[in-house]
Chains A and B, each alone.
Chain A
Amino acid sequence: MKFKGYQRPDGKVGIRNHVLILPTVACANETCRIMAANLPGAVSFVNQNGCGEVEISRRITQRVLAGFAANPNVYGILMVGLGCELNQADEMSALIREKTNKPLEVLLIQEEGGTTRTIRKGTQIVRDMLIEASACEQEWFDLSHLMVALECGGSDSTSGLVANPVIGKTTDILVASGATAMLSETAEIVGAEHILAERAVDPQTKQKIYDIVADLETSLEAVGENLRSAQPSPGNKKGGLSTIEEKSLGCIHKGGTSPLMEVLDYACAPTRKGLVFMDTAGYDVLSVTAKVAGGCQLVIFTTGRGNPVGNPIAPVLKITANRDTFIKMEDNTDMDLSGAFDGSATIDQLGQEVLEEVLRIANGKKTKAEIFGFGFTETVMKRVCDYV
């Protein structure tokens, strides 16, 4: 099995060829958005952070931004800062340069003299990058160059019964073919952590699964909160999920049966191939953001209740086994797995079908979230404490 990708100068392989207009701080968001909206092939996103953050939060913001820039789906980056923000553009550039040698240009709105001058100069820079990017030719690569994020959002009982077990089959084939598959959402393994831990490849990885769950519960207790006040969500409950343990047992099916190779900190890139787990919140958009920052080129997203979420950098393939949801939210949903309920398909057959669709998406077919252009670019970053 192979897929068509774009070779990057840092050795990685992308399945999209975007120019990323990267705001270092919220003050630069609209300037970036106006440029991206007028340049097909350019993408941007809303960065809520970049200033007023304590050190520990700023480091997380920087890790996500540098991870976005280094994601292999990005050909090159125009970074736009304001000038006076905490997240200084030269520091941000250095962090990106630690990860990748792809094209990178920087503009500061205060230095350029305002929005219109920044947009004029930035548009020229991005236009030139887009022309260079368009000259890149796709080549065939084996699946060891592919990293797929596994996500579920708006789950109902069909997620755990069919959609996630189907993705588990897809994951097993991807991993057996050399690819990396990334699970996440620590809150959604609570009650099922022992199952993942037993599949850990070494004692350190096993212990880290237990540690991240304990850390989550401890951090919530420290502020007088309880995980179960937010999980399962009202929609999960309406869909038949009664407890976080029930939701978690359904969630982890996405990971299939492969050994767990590594547990990653938030938005960090894996060092091993195969099935890996990233420590993120159970908030879908935040979790997708982190996995794309960790290098995932494609997101498989199962849903029961329906979900429109996209990502500026990675295609998000939306899958449901709830026929009613597929019909109701067809313009947000790529695949219908409800055949498993009416007897027209088996979990194994559907797992193979999803794999084939993943390869088609990798080769350039657009997902429904992508069809809306660069608008579906939901991005949320983890925060440690309030802004200062």
Chain B
Amino acid sequence: MNKEINAILIDGKDNVVTAIKELPAGRLARFEKGGEMVTVTVTDEIPKFHKIALEDILVSKPVYKYGHLIGEAIKPIKTGNHVHDHNIRSPQKN
């Protein structure tokens, strides 16, 4: 993995990346997507190994990691937000 990156996108379908360093608000998260370096401005303080939103996610909309569904938003999430159990929960059945 490239030393300049500070976040990891696991699957192209994902709408979150995982920070591999603690990132203060305002910092650029840098990750690779399809061989290209992509950046997103972090809007919250992100603890090491926590997730960052790559797009705005409306309430009840899906959150993808590993290319699979890991949860749904319970609050509106903005690009660059910290994504964790304060704003997502397990996908609800039906």
A160, A244, A343: which contacts B90 (Cβ < 8 A)? Answer: A244
User: B44-61 vs A: 1/0 string, CB under 8 Å?
Assistant: 000111110000000000
Chain A interface size band reads 20 to 34
How many angstroms from the CA of A242 to the CA of B85 in the assembled complex? 5
Chain B residues positioned under 8 Å from A243 (CB to CB): 70-71, 85, 88-90
Tell me the smallest distance from the CB of A46 to a CB of chain B, in Å: 34
Q: Report yes or no: B66 in contact with A160, Cβ–Cβ below 8 A.
A: yes
Q: Which of A191, A237, A245, A322 contacts B85 (CB 8 A)?
A: A237
**A240 and B51: CB pair below 8 A?**
yes
Partner of A242, one of B20, B47, B51: B51
Chain B positions 1-32 with a Cβ under 8 Å from a chain A Cβ: 1-3, 8, 10, 18, 20
Would you call A188 an interface residue if the criterion is a C-beta within 8 Å of the partner chain's C-beta atoms?
A: no
A192 within 8 A of partner (CB):
yes
Q: Is B78 an interface residue (CB 8 A)?
A: no
Tell whether A240 pairs with B49 under 8 Å between CB atoms, given A191-B90, A342-B3.
Answer: yes
Identify 30 residue pairs between A and B in the complex whose beta-carbon atoms are under 8 Å apart, listed by A's number.
A156-B49, A157-B51, A161-B10, A161-B18, A161-B49, A191-B91, A192-B68, A237-B85, A239-B49, A240-B47, A240-B84, A242-B51, A242-B84, A242-B85, A242-B88, A243-B70, A243-B71, A243-B85, A243-B89, A244-B90, A245-B69, A245-B90, A246-B65, A249-B68, A322-B49, A341-B1, A341-B20, A342-B1, A343-B2, A343-B3
Q: Which residues on B sit within 8 Å (CB–CB) of A250?
A: 66
Q: List A207-257 residues whose CB lies under 8 Å from chain B.
A: 228, 237, 239-240, 242-246, 249-250
Q: Do residues A157 and B85 form an inter-chain contact, with CB atoms below 8 A?
A: no
Q: A243-B90, A342-B3 are in contact. List 4 more A-B contacts (CB 8 A).
A: A191-B69, A240-B48, A240-B49, A322-B49
> Complex: how many Å from CA A245 to CA B8?
19
Whether, in the assembled complex, B83 has its beta carbon less than 8 Å from a beta carbon of chain A, the answer is: yes
Q: Does more than half of chain A's interface fall in helix, strand or loop, or is it mixed?
A: helix
Q: Which A residues touch B68, using CB under 8 A?
A: 191-192, 195, 245, 249
Whether A191 and B3, one on each chain, are in contact in the complex, defined by CB atoms closer than 8 angstroms, is no
- Alpha-carbon distance between A343 and B8 when the two chains are bound, in angstroms: 13
Q: A340 an interface residue at 8 Å Cβ cutoff? A: yes
The answer to whether the Cβ of A377 comes within 8 Å of any Cβ in the partner chain is no
- A336-350: CB near B (< 8 Å → 1, else 0) gives 000011110000000
A245:B91 contact, CB within 8 angstroms: yes
Contact check, A245 vs B18: say whether CB atoms are below 8 A apart.
no
Confirm or deny: A170 has a beta carbon within 8 angstroms of a beta carbon on chain B: no
Shortest Cβ distance from A385 into chain B, in angstroms? 27
Please measure, in the bound complex, the distance between the C-alpha atom of A322 and the C-alpha atom of B18, giving whole angstroms.
Answer: 14
On chain B, the residues within 8 Å of A158 by CB distance are 49
Q: For chains A and B in complex, what number of residue pairs have CB atoms within 8 angstroms?
A: 68
Bound form: Cα–Cα A322–B48 in Å: 10
CA distance A157 to B21 in the complex (A): 12
- Determine the chain B residues whose CB is within 8 A of the CB of A195 once the complex forms: 68
Given A244-B90, A245-B91, A340 contacting B65 (CB threshold 8 A): no
> Chain B contacts of A340 at CB under 8 A?
1
Which A residues are CB-close (under 8 A) to B91? Answer: 191, 245
Q: Give A240 to B23 CA distance when docked, in angstroms.
A: 13
CB-defined contacts of A304 to chain B, threshold 8 Å: 49
Q: A240 contacts which chain B residues (CB < 8 A)? A: 18, 47-51, 84
Tell me which residues from 7 to 51 in chain A have a Cβ below 8 Å from any Cβ of chain B. none
Within 8 A of B (CB), among A120-160: 156-158, 160
Give the CA-CA distance A108 to B49 in the complex, in Å: 53
Nearest to B1 among chain A residues (CB) is A343
Which residues of A76-124 have CB atoms within 8 Å of chain B's CB atoms?
Answer: none
Roughly how many angstroms separate A349 CA and B77 CA in the complex, as a whole number? 37
Question: In the bound complex, how far is the Cα of B3 from the Cα of A340, in angstroms?
Answer: 10
Inter-chain CA distance A157–B48, complex, in Å, is 9
Q: A228, B84: Cβ atoms under 8 Å?
A: no
- By the criterion CB–CB under 8 Å, are A246 and B3 in contact? no
Q: Do residues A246 and B70 form an inter-chain contact, with CB atoms below 8 A?
A: yes
Minimum-distance CB pairs A-B, first 3: A157-B49, A246-B70, A240-B49
Which of A161, A195, A322: most chain B CB closer than 10 A? A161
B48 CB contacts on chain A under 8 angstroms: 240
Q: Which of B8, B10, B70 contacts A191 (CB 8 A)?
A: B70
Residue of chain A at shortest CB distance from B3: A343
Residues of A within 8 A of B8 (CB): 161
Give the distance to chain A from B8, nearest Cβ to Cβ, in Å: 6
For B88, what are the chain A residues with a Cβ–Cβ distance below 8 Å?
242-243
